[in-house]
């Protein structure tokens, strides 16, 4: 038997323990070990019941995701689970921590399930572009009924032990040691004459519904909720089989649909995104020995939209936070903004009034820097002006206790220069939140030239606590995300001057899967903001650096986007739906004339290449310069901060799926056609020549 699984027996009880750290993933050796342990248990004398347990912090996180790109290896998980279900004595799965994916499917093969209150039970396969492929779509509806099962499978969201008890997914909750609790439960079960109870012998319930109509409706609803995604619809189709077919046939249907998903490019993109998130926490120079400092009290300097959003992040994580503004009036405005934001959540039903008051209670408004003397972290979120930042950091240096993390939320200024305002540059870090800070998951953690490993580890730990997805980046204008966005946005604007319309560009990118088109996005953030960035860039870019001019024309006319009811699009008062701006065609013509460009028809494919490959080329430069640690960090940033579709894996992964040879050819063509700014990044040239990919490129920490 493989060392990863142990069978033990004491009296009339046996137990099988999964031991495959860190998450007991059901890799081939574990599956083989389980099969062998089941055989051993079947032959054990005097055995009346069998427990299934997991060691470590959780029961089982499911199939080993790393195995998906390799040919399948026996024994297959469905066969292992069939052997569990067929066992001749009662099998009890004793769950703790998490029972996810194949882990929950294994538990569904058992005859009884018990769990701790804190156990997270779910079938998250859909988030990886899959469906539960080891019986989950057939057995879960037989245990909790079709509607509940479908909801869990299509959303991929886990439920708690308590909710699982209410749904009938677990038989009871336990506290304390799993083996002890499992033993006590098994003995009681045997006393009461509880026998083998196979899930597969039950039928899936869909009370009061006509199955045909119900599933047709579900399919329509899923297509609407997850446009462009491949696996959610197949989840519905698989669950439908659970009420039409006996278990064996239903499992066959599930397998077919699972294999279709497994082979889909979306699965590859989503699995890449899963690992990108885990890789990003591995940072060169930050080792297991690097101790993050304790953070129990925070402060935010600046009560504008960003500062308030950041303060809300702290309060949402249960951390007391002091919000500093220059005077009482500004402070009152900032605190009101915090209250209004929470009130909107209460109105939507996503926050209870009690939680709102509790969180507001964690935000203390202050106007005197002396109040920040004892905080563990300060995030500066004041106006983007170096002189202002310098004054703030000088003051923080003077008042904050030694060891406090001094963070700037700058999105564009040189962190190293900011750090010179202090006598402790090793404690200065960038924490670049994305707007709205309390909603967006991304956090760029900026490592300055002198930032210490300990400060960086503290920033990363804080990001985790705030439930952010963090990526460490180096110092440059715009860091990773915004530096790439500049190229993307500029190409999009050039396309308008060459012949496209905002509607066409936005629609092409939305149908690619972007959450929003670039022009709807510009209108949302405000064209005045775009103009301020453009003007700053004009001062920094070499003379004659080509820039589009349409933004200037809109700005001159006072068309600032949603805030003025008109920008690239027009908006009805109080509405956010983009309508055609009747003045735009004339402005487009004027912009084309000004640039000396003859307008022409552009295909959607061309639009996608111009915008997306601009991201890729800049991403390759950032990787080469060491500003991004690895290609997958760039992907992570785009997936979590810029609405790039997760099923495409991110811009660098998308480039890999096109093939870097093809990417190189297209970029070279743009270089010839358009100008020097399209020069292919040296890294791209190298990889295309060698037949390489971005995947796996960068730090291995
Ligand atoms: C499935 O089950 C298919 C079946 O239906 C059908 C099969 C036929 N495999 O997240 P963490 C690694 S699909 C391999 O940082 P946490 C992870 O990469 C699966 N590796 O910990 C990391 O490695 P490293 C359905 C895995 O405490 C380390 O474990 N299941 C797997 O923050 C720690 O992970 C899921 O989708 C895996 N399944 O969160 C669950 N899971 O240290 C996926 C984790 O080298 N997993 N690793 O970077 C999770 O959601 C979280 O990992 C979990 C723990 C909540 C369990």
Q: Are residues 250 and 305 in the same domain?
A: no
Q: List the structure tokens of 502.
A: 């905002």
Ligand 1 atom closest to Cα of 65?
9
Is the Cβ atom of 125 under 6 angstroms away from ligand 1?
Answer: yes
Which atom of ligand 1 is found nearest the CA of 62? 2
pLDDT value for 406: 98
Q: How far is the CA of 61 from the centre of ligand 1 (A)?
A: 5
Structure tokens at 670: 């743009």
CA–CA distance, 336 with 682 (Å, rounded to integer): 50
Q: Is 66 in the pocket of ligand 1 (CB under 6 A)?
A: yes
Are both 397 and 376 inside the same structural domain?
A: yes
Ligand 1 centroid, distance to 67 Cα (angstroms): 12
633 lines ligand 1 (CB under 6 A): no
Pocket test residue of 22, 272, 470 for ligand 1, highest count of atoms within 8 A of CB? 22
Dist. CA 443–CA 460, nearest whole Å: 9
Q: Is 380 helix (H, G, I), strand (E, B) or coil?
A: strand
Question: For the chain, how many structural domains are there in total?
Answer: 3
* Residues in the chain, pLDDT under 50: 1-2, 701
| Residue at 362 is within a domain | yes
| Backbone φ and ψ of 291, nearest 5° | -90, 115
Together in a domain, 181 and 204:
yes
CATH code, domain carrying 335 = 3.40.50.720
User: Is 276 contained in some domain?
Assistant: no
State if residue 23 touches ligand 1 by the CB under 6 angstroms criterion. Answer: yes
Residue at 243 is within a domain: yes
Residue nearest to atom 24 of ligand 1 (CA): 278
Ligand 1 pocket member 277 (CB < 6 A): no
Spatial strand order of the sheet with 98-100 comes to 98-100, 120-122, 159-160
In the sheet with 428-433, reading across from the earlier edge strand, the strands are 363-366, 321-324, 298-301, 377-380, 405-408, 428-433, 442-446, 469-473
Both structure tokens of 595: 């640039």
Q: Ligand 1: distance of its center to the CA of 110 in Å?
A: 22
In a domain, 292, yes or no: no
CATH code of the domain covering residue 652: 1.10.1040.50
How far apart (Å, rounded) are the C-alpha atoms in residues 540 and 324? 32
Which of 440, 473, 506 is the last residue in one of the domains? 473
- Ligand 1 nearest atom to the CA of residue 105, by list position: 5
CA of 64 to the centre of ligand 1 (A): 7
Q: Which atom of ligand 1 is nearest to the CA of 281?
A: 48
Strand partners, 13: 10, 49
Task: Judge if 436 and 582 occupy the same domain.
Answer: no
Atom 11, ligand 1: which residue's CA is nearest? 278
Atom of ligand 1 nearest to the CA of 274: 18
Which residues does 528 contact at the CB level (< 8 Å), separation at least 6?
555, 560
Q: What was the pLDDT predicted at 69?
A: 85
pLDDT at 700: 59
The reported pLDDT for the residue numbered 533 is 83
My answer on whether 416 and 326 are in the same domain is yes
The answer to whether position 51 is within a domain reads: yes
Residue 696 lies in a domain: no
**Cβ–Cβ < 8 Å for 531, 552:** yes
Mutate to test the pocket of ligand 1, among 25, 54, 65 (most ligand atoms within 8 A of CB): 65
Q: Does residue 701 lie within any of the structural domains?
A: no
Domain check: are 504 and 547 in the same one?
Answer: yes
CB 431 within 8 A of CB 443: yes
Ligand 1 atom with minimal separation from the 57 CA:
27
Q: Is 63 in the pocket of ligand 1 (CB under 6 A)?
A: yes
Residues 208 and 163 in one domain: yes
Do 595 and 460 belong together in one domain? no
Q: Are residues 504 and 433 in the same domain?
A: no
The whole-angstrom separation of Cα 572 and Cα 6 is 67
Residue 464 CA, ligand 1 centroid: distance in Å: 17
The residue segments making up the domain with residue 511 are 481-690
Q: Find the CATH number of the domain harbouring 213.
A: 3.90.226.10
Say yes or no: 144 and 16 in one domain.
yes
Query: 65: Cβ below 6 Å to ligand 1?
Result: yes
Closest-CA residue, ligand 1 atom 9, reads 64
CB of residue 77 inside a 6 A radius of ligand 1: yes
**What pLDDT digit, counting tens, does each position of 27-82 carry?**
999 999 999 999 999 999 999 999 999 999 999 999 999 999 888 899 999 999 99
Residue linked to tokens 């869909």: 206
Give the end of a domain, one of 425, 449, 473.
Answer: 473
Catalytic residues: 105, 125
Q: Ligand 1 centroid to 563 CA: how many Å?
A: 43
Residue (of 435, 452, 450, 322) closest to 375 by Cα position: 322
CA distance 322 to 324: 6
**Predicted local confidence at residue 3, as pLDDT:** 57
Does the CB atom of residue 102 touch ligand 1 within 6 A? Answer: yes
- Which of 202, 235, 262 finishes a domain? 262
Q: Is 64 in the pocket of ligand 1 (CB under 6 A)?
A: yes
Q: Is the same domain home to 138 and 258?
A: yes
**166 & 25 share domain:** yes
Q: Is the CB–ligand 1 distance for residue 276 below 6 Å?
A: no
Q: For residue 3, which phi and psi values (nearest 5 degrees)? A: -65, -15
Please check whether residue 441 lies inside any domain of the structure: yes
């Amino acid at each position: 038997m493989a060392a990863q699984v142990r069978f033990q027996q004491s009296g009339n009880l046996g137990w099988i323990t999964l031991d495959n750290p860190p998450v007991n993933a059901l890799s081939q050796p574990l599956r083989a070990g389980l099969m062998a342990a089941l055989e051993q248990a079947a032959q054990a004398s005097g055995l009346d019941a069998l427990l299934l347990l997991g060691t470590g912090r959780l029961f089982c996180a499911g199939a080993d995701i790393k195995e998906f790109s390799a040919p399948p290896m026996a024994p297959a998980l469905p066969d292992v689970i069939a052997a569990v279900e067929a066992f001749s004595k009662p099998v009890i799965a004793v769950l703790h921590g998490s029972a996810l994916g194949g882990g929950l499917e294994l538990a569904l093969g058992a005859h009884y399930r018990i769990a701790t209150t804190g156990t997270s039970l779910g079938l998250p396969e859909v988030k990886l572009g899959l469906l539960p492929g080891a019986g989950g779509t057939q057995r879960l509806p037989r245990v909790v009924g079709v509607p509940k099962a479908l909801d869990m499978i299509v959303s991929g969201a886990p439920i708690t032990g308590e909710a699982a008890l209410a749904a009938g997914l677990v038989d009871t909750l336990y506290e304390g040691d799993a083996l002890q609790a499992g033993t006590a439960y098994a003995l009681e079960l045997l006393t009461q004459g509880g026998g083998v109870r196979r899930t597969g012998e039950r039928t899936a319930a869909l009370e009061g519904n006509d199955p045909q109509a119900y599933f047709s409706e579900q399919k329509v609803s899923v297509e609407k909720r997850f446009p462009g995604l491949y696996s959610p619809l197949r989840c519905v189709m698989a669950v439908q089989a659970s009420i039409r077919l006996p278990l064996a046939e239903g499992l066959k249907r599930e397998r077919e649909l699972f294999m279709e998903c497994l082979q889909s490019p979306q699965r590859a993109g989503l699995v890449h995104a899963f690992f990108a998130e885990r890789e990003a926490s591995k940072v060169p120079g930050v080792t297991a020995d690097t101790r993050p400092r304790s953070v129990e009290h925070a402060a935010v300097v600046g009560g504008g939209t960003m500062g308030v959003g950041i303060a809300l992040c702290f309060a949402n994580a249960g951390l007391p936070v002091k919000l500093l503004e220059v005077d009482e009036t500004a402070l009152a405005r900032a605190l009101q903004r915090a209250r209004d934001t929470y009130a909107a959540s209460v109105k939507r039903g996503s926050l209870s009034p009690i939680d709102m008051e509790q969180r507001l209670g964690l935000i203390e408004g202050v106007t005197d820097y002396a109040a920040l003397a004892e905080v563990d972290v300060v995030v500066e979120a004041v106006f983007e002006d170096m002189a202002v930042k310098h004054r703030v950091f000088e003051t923080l240096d003077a008042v904050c206790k030694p060891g406090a993390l001094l963070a700037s939320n700058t999105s564009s200024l040189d962190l190293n220069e900011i750090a010179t305002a202090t006598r402790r540059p090793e404690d200065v870090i960038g924490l670049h939140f994305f707007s709205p800070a309390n909603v967006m998951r991304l956090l760029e953690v900026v490592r300055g030239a002198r930032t210490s490993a300990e400060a960086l580890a503290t920033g990363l730990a804080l990001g985790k606590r705030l439930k952010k997805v963090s990526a460490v980046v180096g110092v440059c204008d715009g860091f990773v995300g915004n530096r790439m966005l500049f190229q993307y946005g500029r190409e999009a604007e050039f396309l308008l001057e060459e012949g496209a319309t905002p509607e066409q560009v936005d629609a092409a990118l939305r149908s690619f899967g972007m959450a929003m088109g670039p022009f709807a996005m510009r209108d949302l953030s405000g064209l005045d903001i775009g103009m301020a960035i453009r003007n700053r860039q004009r001062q920094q870019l070499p003379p004659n650096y080509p820039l589009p001019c349409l933004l200037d024309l809109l700005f001159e006319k006072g068309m600032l986007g949603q805030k003025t009811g008109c920008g690239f699009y027009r908006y009805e008062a109080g509405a956010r739906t983009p309508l055609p701006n009747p003045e735009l065609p004339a402005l487009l013509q004027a912009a084309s004339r000004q640039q000396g460009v003859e307008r022409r028809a552009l295909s959607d494919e061309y639009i996608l290449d111009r915008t997306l490959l601009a991201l890729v080329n800049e991403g390759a430069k950032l990787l080469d310069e060491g500003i991004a640690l690895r290609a997958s960090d760039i992907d992570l940033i785009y997936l979590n901060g810029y609405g790039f579709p997760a099923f495409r894996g991110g811009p660098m992964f998308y480039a890999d799926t096109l093939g870097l040879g093809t990417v190189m050819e297209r970029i070279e063509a743009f270089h010839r056609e358009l100008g020097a700014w399209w020069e292919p990044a040296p890294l791209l040239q190298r990889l295309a020549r060698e037949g390489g990919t971005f995947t796996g490129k960068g730090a291995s920490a």
